[in-house]
Structure 1
Amino acid sequence: MRPFGVCAVCLAVLPLSRPYLSAPTPQLSMQLPGLIIGGGIAGLTTALALQRRGLAVTVCESAPEIKPLGAGIWMAPNAMQVFHRLGIADKINAGGVPLRNIQVVDARMQPIMRTDQERVRQRFGYTTTAIRRARLQETLLAELAPGTVLLAKTLASFTQHEQGVTVHFTDGSVLQAGYLVAADGIHSAVRGVLFPGARFASTGHIVWRGISPVRLRPEFQQSIMEAWAHGVRFGFSEIADGVVDWFVGEYAPGVTSYPQGLKNHLLDLFRDFAYPITTILEAADEARIIRNEITDFDPIPSWSQGKVCLIGDAAHASTPYMGQGGCQAVEDAFALAQCLEQEATVEQAFAAMQRLRRAKALHIVRTSRLMGKVGYLQHAPAALRNFIIRTTPSFIIEQQFRRVYQLNF
């Protein structure tokens, strides 16, 4: 799960297109196939978008096998519109839980903010879908041509030349490609070569993620709920019938161990919160709880250099407080494939993609940093925050949603 997605609300919709298929441009079809580094959501979506356009591509993943790892993720309407264009939105909805409302609540589970996802669906065609990250990955893999993904391929180095890019791997193999797409995450090895001066911004916040076998009361089903109180955050949603994906956010710089056990620590943080938070935590398997330190990096000057391009977290990683990390990667993937089809050269395509995507991606980075501060407020500042959000007219909240959910390509 990409946590804290509801926080975006504290701050001209395009119609859905049909799944888009067309012949590749002569310029790109005559080049060597593309090569993608990274077999996560960004890399697999990019490969699918390229193949839908008849463009050859290979994905290289460093893991020796693709395992069902991770917790859940929220695919917001902007990502779902992309999946619609790729012809797989219905499969993703079938594999997850389309949500009917999103709420920020207090410790008593009383609403601070609530959105009507039916109105969102009417405007954008989709609501947010909560799904296991592994299930989403499986859905994308099943749509790719056989042999698209190569496993146990760890990047060692790459060189650019007139014909494209030569890529060396740690197993001694070498691949030639017309262009290279880096979808290798926030600690991108490719970005480290192209833009070694990227500055990370540590927050001191820790996010714990897990999945619990819990059947929620009806009023909590098909919903994202995020509780803000006492300087901590707890969010949860169903990702399947009787399965709840959850996260905890706390400020804990330098803390790496808990003498009474992690699960007891988390239960202690939320002992004063109403149902179902402690019920969800009690059902969790402590050994499967995932720890992430929250960070991002300052915007880099460009997402590409020559025939090499960065996408997703490799290009513009954000903190998770808007729940848009995976969604922005999905937008990048479709926009990149579209530009590679339409532009005369790889370099022109990469520049066009950045023009389409940079302003929105950086808006997410900056706004998410702000929401990382707002959600952890305590005492009088928290009371003032809650009052302001509760009294904000709904049309203003909806305007903020539209800016995030609208596509410009």
Structure 2
Amino acid sequence: MADVAIIGAGIGGLCTAIGLQNRGFDPIVFERTNELRPVGFGIGIGPNGMQALNELGVADAVIEQGVVLDRIELRTEAGQLLMPMDFRAPANRLGLDHVMVAIHRADLQSILVERLSKERLRLGVECEGIDPEQPAVQFAAGNEKTANLVVGADGIDSTVREHVLPGNQPRYAGEVAYRGLVDVTVLDDITPKGMEFWGRGLRFGYFPVSDEQVYWFASIVASRPGTAPEATASKLAERYRKFVDPIPDLIARTNDETLLRTPLTDLPRLTYWTSGRVALLGDAAHAMTPNLAQGSAQAMEDAIVLADSIATHGTTRRALADYEARRKERAESVRRQSRIQGRLAQIDHPTVARIRNTALRYVPSSLLQKQTKSLIDIDF
């Protein structure tokens, strides 16, 4: 019998398994797909996430494969600077070893899988039910697996959550996101920073994820997902024709077959994250919109704290209670901030948008530093 059965081999599940493996426990990760495929293209990992990866022993490999970003710049659709976000200064003040790193999701996934012992990952095994008291996992093939603890790291549409805390469904956040990947030759000047542009009901951002590729993301306000444009580069480039170069060109050069279209969703606050000997983690517990680029980092923090709680209290209910007590309020705070940020970005009334932009230009640097600190300050 495994010490811990982890359902889902996404970022949170793999990080949890590595954290437990490093502490001498026997975790097994069960993944329903027959092969691991990254969801999306690029990912920006904040200083708090990088510190978690450092704890797991994989930060150097991530830096080697990715691109270190010193800052993110928020600009208008015409390119005027609204707000710079510098990660290096607050990270240094908090004693963190790293700033933000951008990397292709496939590269991050490969690094995590390589760190985990091969026998700890089981593919093509779909969770169909959970008994939180034993605990036991029932699989679609008809077999069952028992463990001392079960961790539901199976994403926003979590099967584990539906069995231990039914009725908590994802909610639409009012935007449809588009994502693509293009060759760096599209840009005349590649600098190690993230760029985001706010228009009226439209957003666009991009950053390099390697020496060869640039990841971009766009979001369009839509009352319902079906009212947003289909995922074709030509239609999307036309929608962003008023945005500053190189945005229309980045979109136009994207292959339609690889362009992703996804309604943005998050989870409402859950009453609890644990039930019996089962705990929820990552998007299964606190799925958030990508507005603050904190979804993966919060899952990484979950993984470190859960592994630490189990190392302190053993594979017991007390360990799960300690994990929830240490993580729930922080993750919920970040989730709320991300949703608020999204509402601010969604403004499409011209007068209100101008007021928003003017206010952003005059936000005191001390307030920016305080917000950044609240996002990246860790408790492990």
Q: TM-score range by the shorter chain?
A: over 0.9
Task: Report the AA paired with residue 127 of structure 2.
Answer: L
Query: Normalised by the size of structure 2, how large is the TM-score?
Result: 0.94
Following TM superposition, by how much is the alpha carbon of 1:103 offset from its aligned partner in structure 2, in angstroms?
0.6
Selected match of 1:176 from 125, 128, 146: 146
Kindly indicate whether residue 88 of structure 2 is the aligned counterpart of residue 118 of structure 1.
yes
Q: Distance in 1 between matches of 2:293 and 2:156?
A: 15
Match for residue 290 of structure 2 among 310, 315, 320 = 320
Select the residue among 105, 116, 119 that pairs with 1:144: 116
Q: Distance in 1 between matches of 2:326 and 2:74?
A: 31
CA distance in 2, matches of 1:368, 1:260: 25
> After the TM superposition, which segments of 4 or more aligned residues of structure 1 sit over 6 Å from their partners?
257-261
**What's the counterpart of residue 397 of structure 1?**
368
Residue 154 of structure 1, aligned match among 126, 132, 139: 126
Q: Equivalent residue for 2:358?
A: 387
Query: What code does the residue aligned with 1:352 have?
Result: D
CA contact under 8 A between 1:37 and 1:184: conserved in structure 2? yes
Task: Find 2:52's aligned residue among 82, 101, 125.
Answer: 82
Q: Percent identity?
A: 32
Q: Helix, strand or coil for the counterpart of 2:184?
A: coil
Q: Distance in 2 between matches of 1:171 and 1:298?
A: 32
Could you tell me how far 1:218 is from its partner in structure 2? Answer: 6.4
The gaps in structure 1 that reach 5 residues or longer are: 1-30
Q: Which moved more, 1:113-122 or 1:37-46?
A: 113-122
Letter in 2 for 1:407: I
In structure 1, distance between residues paired with 2:210 and 2:317: 43
Matched position secondary structure for 2:34: coil
Q: How does 1:45-124 map to 2 (within 5 A)?
A: 45-123=15-93, 124=96
- Between the aligned partners of 2:377 and 2:71, the Cα distance in structure 1 is 19
Q: Counterpart in 1 of 2:100? A: 128
Would you say the 8 A contact 2:30–2:122 is kept in 1? Answer: yes
- Corresponding residue of 2:216: 246
* Structure-2 residue corresponding to 1:16: none
SS of residue in 2 equivalent to 1:212: strand
CA distance in 1 between partners of 2:14 and 2:59 (Å):
15
The Cα RMSD (Å) is 1.9
Superposed displacement of residue 199, structure 1: 4.7
Q: Secondary structure at the match of 2:206?
A: strand
Provide the residue aligned with 2:3 in structure 1: 33
CA contact (8 A) 1:215 1:241 kept: no
- Give matches, 1:242-321, under 5 Å: 242-254=212-224, 256=226, 262-321=232-291
How far apart, in 1, do the equivalents of 2:368 and 2:80 lie? 18
**Mean alpha-carbon deviation: is it higher for 279-288 or for 214-223?**
214-223
Asked if the contact 1:120–1:127 (Cα under 8 Å) also holds between the matched residues in 2, the reply is no
Partners of 1:88 and 1:260 in 2: CA distance: 38
Question: Are the counterparts in 2 of residues 216 and 242 from structure 1 also a CA contact under 8 Å?
Answer: no
Partner of 1:369: 339
CA distance in 2, matches of 1:67, 1:302: 30
Pick which of 268-277 and 183-192 moved more: 268-277
Tell me the SS of whatever aligns to 1:74. strand
1:407 aligns with 2:367: no
Instruction: Encode CA deviations 1:141-199: one digit per residue, 9 max, x unaligned.
Output: 000112111000001222244xx422221123322211100000011011101111215
Deviation at 1:309, TM superposition (A): 0.4
> Following the alignment from structure 1 to structure 2, what is the Cα–Cα distance between the partners of residues 244 and 327?
21
Asked if residue 353 in structure 1 is aligned to residue 323 in structure 2, the reply is yes
Letter in 2 for 1:100: D
- Distance in 1 between the 2:164 and 2:65 partners? 37
Alignment of 1:166-205 (within 5 A): 166-205=136-175
Gaps of 5+ in 2: none
Asked whether the equivalents of residues 69 and 193 of structure 2 are also in contact (C-alpha less than 8 Å), the reply is yes
Cα offset for 1:116? 2.8
Is 1:213–1:284's contact at 8 Å kept on the other side of the alignment? no
What residue identity is the alignment partner of 1:393?
P
Distance in 1, matches of 2:63 and 2:77, equals 30
Q: Measure, in 1, the Cα distance between the counterparts of 2:32 and 2:318.
A: 29
Aligned partner of residue 185 in structure 2, secondary structure = coil
Alpha carbons 1:234, 1:247 under 8 Å: kept: yes
**Displacement, 1:69?**
5.0
Q: Give the aligned length.
A: 377
Contact kept in structure 2, 1:214 and 1:283, CA below 8 Å: no
SS of the equivalent of 2:368 reads helix
One-letter amino acid of the counterpart of residue 149, structure 1: L
Residue type of the alignment partner of 2:289: T
